[in-house]
Structure 1
Amino acid sequence: MSTNEDSAVEQQRQKRKRIGRIKTGIVMTIAIWMLVSLIAIIVLTVTVVRLNSRVYKMELKQNSTASVQLSETESTGSGELDSVLLQDHDAQIQSENVIRELDSADNAYSKGDTRKVYLTFDCVPGENTAAILDTLAKYNIKATFFVVGDASGENAQIYQRIVNEGHTIAMHSFSNSYSDVYKSKDAFTNDLKQISDYISKTTGVTPKYYRFPGGSMNRISNVNMDELVKVLNSDKITYFDWNVSAGDTSADYTADDVVNNVISGVQNYKTSVVLLHDDSNKSTTAEAIEPLIEALNNISAEILPIDENTYVVQYIKADTVE
């Protein structure tokens, strides 16, 4: 073999070595990149899991005093919360003697108990109210309507129909405006008198029952809720929270959702006060009433309107507020 041929062979050998080193470098680079990416993904995943866990724990802590049913905040008639400063109830001065508890052991359902169910509607009377009343009349069922005021006077016949057909008409504030109702103790007292007078004038019935907008454990009131319970106590008005929610404030809920939510809730109690909503945006709730009544009948529940014999479901026990 000539010297030129030896030189050419050596050059090819060196070229192959260089190519091999380049390939090895590329492979190593890709491998390191993949390893780093994998480590980064693992680190990010762990971080996300930890953050989710912290958020979940914070939510649990925030809602530790509330039942699932009361975790929903009611909307105002316009469908939007008023612009109100949210206040932390834990920071408010509370009476040491006031009992705050939604569920009591004496209301837990045991085999053989009769389930008493109170369908209650936080009500802005309108077209859907008539549809709900039609269904209740079909099954001869009586319910409770916590109504708001109607300055227009256009729905006076609906208030009267509620009374005429044997349902309980109750108060849910006149304005249904959180910023107005909870602005001060005087504002609450004035609104209470306004809705009481309105119902009395419109129907001839003096209302005896009340539901706080957002419930008695809302985080919206500028006033300590104990003070507002005192106002009701002084007027001998009984207020009701709820221990079962239909879930009809959720987005895109269905009639089946309403039925399932209520039935799963009433399984737990001897007395269930069920929260439903009735306004112009709640046609699905109106559609759910018939299958809900049938489902309650299937479990032999007794459906009743609120009266003086009703087991009182309250978060703030009114008889402990002085």
Structure 2
Amino acid sequence: MESSFEGLERQRAKRRRVARMKKFIVTTVLVFMLLTISVMSFLLFEVFSLQRQLDSLAKQVYVTTDVENESEMVDDSILDDVYQVDNVDNIAEEGDIPMVYLTFDDGPSSNTDEILDILDDYNVKATFFVCGKDLELYGEQYKRIVDEGHTIGMHSYSHNFGEIYASEDAFAQDYNKIHNLILETTGVDTKYYRFPGGSSNKVSTTSMSTFINYLNNQGVVYYDWNVASGDATSSAFTTEQLIDNVMKDVVKYKTSVVLLHDASNKNATVEALPGLIESLQEQGAMILPITDETTVIQHVNVVQ
């Protein structure tokens, strides 16, 4: 017959086993939680890091289906005689009213009329940097842009990087074609230009200072952008993402020049436009067309 002492020892041994098991379980759970938190922290860091990289690329990279020579990439030496513009004076301060300029590249297109309808619905004026298109198809769209009070600017005639940037003569020929098309179609002697790919593009095999000097001699001002919607990239953004891409950056600047596109394959841009306008208006922004009074936003300029 078991003594009371032996029974007590068994109970104590059982309690010790239970205590060890509880300790093991608690330790295992804590280790698992710490590992999970560590992994999540690492992943969050990587996500934020990737987002910063994407934000930077979205502002610098211009990828469009119109480019025929995307393979003609060159190194930074092509920018040796230009300098990166520092827009520190454009950083927003408390109390500033955001000045926002919606700009549409690559048109006219099958989406132009709908874009103009939306702008008219909200009584908003924008800027269209247009290319050379068939006047039988798009002649009325060039006219409508101007007739409805929007600013029309040049975005090259052909939008063919290899042709436009081959030499100063090639650039001048293309410039004259788009300038004359706009003048003859709308009566506007426009003095605003946007380089295909922006002034900081790395596709041109000729120094961008060559073309910048040419425009300066013509009395033409070129505009880049400091806010990118993301609709120029090969990534497919939803309408909400396009709006978010713009709204998170316009708060940074006194003057925001927003890069958008007027092309037949940019339906998401058209769908996002009403929400974007409403978001900007809720933010208290003034949405304006580019004029001679607009702060010039440029990525690079000629070294003096």
TM-score, with structure 2 as normaliser: 0.79
Q: Deviation at 1:254?
A: 1.0
Aligned mate of 1:178, from 158, 161, 180: 161
Q: Distance in 1 between matches of 2:173 and 2:153?
A: 17
Q: Deviations over 1:156-181 (max 9, x none)?
A: 00000000000000000000111111
Aligned mate of 2:64, from 70, 75, 95: 75
- Unmatched 5+ stretches in structure 2: 1-45
Q: Deviations over 1:218-277 (max 9, x none)?
A: 111011001110000000000001000001134221110111000001010000000001
Aligned mate of 1:137, from 117, 120, 131: 120
Cα gap change, 1:136/1:205 in structure 2, threshold over 3 Å: closer, same or farther?
A: same
Letter in 2 for 1:85: E
Higher mean displacement: 243-252 or 207-216: 243-252
Q: Deviations over 1:185-217 (max 9, x none)?
A: 111111001100010011111111000000001
Q: Deviation at 1:306?
A: 0.3
Question: Which stretches of structure 1, 4 residues or longer, exceed 6 Å deviation after superposition?
Answer: none
Partner of 1:267: 251
**Residues 1:304 and 2:288 are matched in the alignment:** yes
Indicate the SS of the match to 1:192.
helix
Q: Distance in 2 between matches of 1:301 and 1:321?
A: 33
Cα gap change, 1:112/1:203 in structure 2, threshold over 3 Å: closer, same or farther?
A: same
**Residues 1:214 and 2:197 are matched in the alignment:** yes
Indicate the SS of the match to 1:120.
strand
TM-score, with structure 1 as normaliser: 0.74
- Aligned pairs, how many? 256
Partner of 2:89: 106
Q: Distance in 1 between matches of 2:300 and 2:60?
A: 15
Q: Distance in 1 between matches of 2:151 and 2:177?
A: 18
Indicate the SS of the match to 1:180.
helix
Identity of aligned residues (%): 43
Indicate the SS of the match to 1:300.
coil
Partner of 2:11: none
| 8 Å Cα contact 2:70-2:203 kept in structure 1 | no
RMSD (CA atoms): 2.3
Q: Distance in 2 between matches of 1:133 and 1:152?
A: 18
Indicate the SS of the match to 1:113.
coil
Partner of 2:242: 258
Which structure: larger Rg?
1
Cα gap change, 1:255/1:153 in structure 2, threshold over 3 Å: closer, same or farther?
A: same
